[in-house]
Amino acid sequence: MLPQNDIPQGNRVIISVLGKDRVGIIASVAGVLSAVNINILDISQTIIQEYFAMILMADISNSTINLEDLKEKLTELGTELGVRIDVQHTDAFNYMHRL
């Protein structure tokens, strides 16, 4: 496995999760990623009063599904959990947030 800094940028996605806090959000998202062979590289989460916010970076190099199918799976999971889950390829994220 490559160290995080050695993973090509084209193989990373940013996943954000926002919504009312409840048990199992992190476990559910991690379960979906694990099931399709996506590795979590970095994760940060916080609770602001009763609201949950998480952002994670994941390596999709060995994923068994394409990015569009991943987005669909996580959107469905978000609906089940009552949170919003967004997935962006790091290339798109970097393009949108350039100076």
pLDDT number for residue 92: 61
Number of domains in the chain: 1
**Residue (of 7, 16, 5) closest to 84 by Cα position:** 16
Task: Calculate mean pLDDT across residues 52-63.
Answer: 96
* pLDDT value at 99 more than 60: no
Range of the domain at 72: 4-96
How much is the pTM? Answer: 0.83
12 C-beta neighbours (distance < 10 Å), count: 21
pLDDT exceeds cutoff 80 at 91 = no
Residue 69 confidence (pLDDT) above 70: yes
